[in-house]
Amino acid sequence: MSNKSSYEWRKQMMWGLLLIGFGTVVLLDRLGVYYADGLWHYAPLVLTVMGVNKMIGFPTAKDFTMGLWMVFASLWLFAVFEHLFGLTFSNGWPVPVIFCGVTMILEPFIERRLAPGTEPSNEK
């Protein structure tokens, strides 16, 4: 199985499992078996799963940095919702701007490091 096809398979598997989990929780909540009010508070962490899935077996540096961005966004949203470190949407908005700059700087380095089948020109 090629790297690209295993990446697509894993992405489809992740979405299927997320939909099954989400549907099960909503069904149990609607039936009164399990009350999911407390779970929705942790919903941004689903982005963490999606981001990690995007970073594992990544076909390109762009996919890797997108996964890194998704993990960061989920953790930032969780921190804002929980008011960790005193963060709110009104005072915490510069943090994603800073991280956007960091990913713009990191992407060329990641691309050079992860280029498939190429060697750096200074190594023999």
Give pLDDT tens digits for 58-93: 667 888 888 899 999 999 998 998 889 999 999 999
41-62 pLDDT per residue, tens = 777 888 888 888 888 876 678 8
- CA separation for the pair 46, 70 (Å, rounded): 10
The pLDDT of residue 118 is above 60 = no
Confidence of residue 124 (pLDDT cuts 50, 70, 90): very low
Give me the pLDDT at residue 99, please.
92
- Gap between the terminal Cα atoms of the chain: 30
Question: Can you give the pTM of this predicted structure?
Answer: 0.68
Give me the pLDDT at residue 115, please.
65
CA angle, corner 45, sides to 23 and 48, nearest 5?
A: 110
Q: Looking at this protein, which amino acid is placed at residue 80?
A: V
